[in-house]
Amino acid sequence: MSQIALALLLTTLAGLSTTIGSAIAWLVRRPGPAFMALSLGFSAGVMLYISFVELLATGIQEIGLARGQLAFFAGFGTMFLIDMLVPHSYQSETDPRAPLSDSKLLRTGLLVALGIAIHNFPEGLATFAATLSNTHLGIAIAVTIALHNIPEGIAVAAPVYAATGSRSKAFTWSFLSGLAEPVGAALAALFLLPFLSPVLLASLLALVAGFMVFIALDELLPASRAFGREHLTILGVLIGMLVMATSLALLR
């Protein structure tokens, strides 16, 4: 399998993990707070560690401190603008037990699906660019983003399922929200590959680091702490960082 095909495959698998969240929403409607706090903290820890130790560090090494930092803050700023223009939530607003009418529940699910799809687009670029640089790094990022996408799948599927009683509709909207990631990767392959160079790839890695740090700080950590298990959040971050540090050490 070529590196490009592998990058597209990993991005697709990571994006469509939202369907795992929809399956959880069917079965248990809402996973326990301890599980959610620990898993989201774990994802944040992995993202932060990879971003600073691998992605940004590699970018700075290849293109210099000034350009590497510029790309990093451009990525962070881009995600900030997306979040301001298209906010989304997958916490209390999507609780199917909340006192909302079916129409409001359905509207909530569809709006969250749209917001998540737009947020997922740069994540597809992140997995694609990282895999082109290093297969093991791409796999690690894909797994992390997949874990991050599971609660997003729950956020979409839970209100749609609660409002309509249709598993197929819940699955479809969860699937479509995750599909934005492989679409992002495919567009990156289409428009960036003809111009890909070591300098461009290093810039993309630093840019992606900015994406991921924003996601960890703005989405994963606040969502994890919202479940009221602060110590499990920090424990999850620690475990995530230790797992990544160990895996990177073993792969070198």
Segment 100-145, tens digit of pLDDT: 456 665 665 666 666 667 667 777 877 888 888 788 888 888 887 8
Q: Summarize pLDDT for 137-187 with one digit per residue, the tens.
A: 888 888 878 876 777 777 677 667 767 778 888 888 888 888 888 887 888
pLDDT band at 25 (very low <50, low <70, confident <90, very high): low
User: Among 8-12, 36-40, 79-83, 234-238, which range has the highest average pLDDT?
Assistant: 234-238
Residue 251, C-beta contacts closer than 8 angstroms, at least 6 positions apart: 136
Contact 216, 44 (CB under 8 A): yes
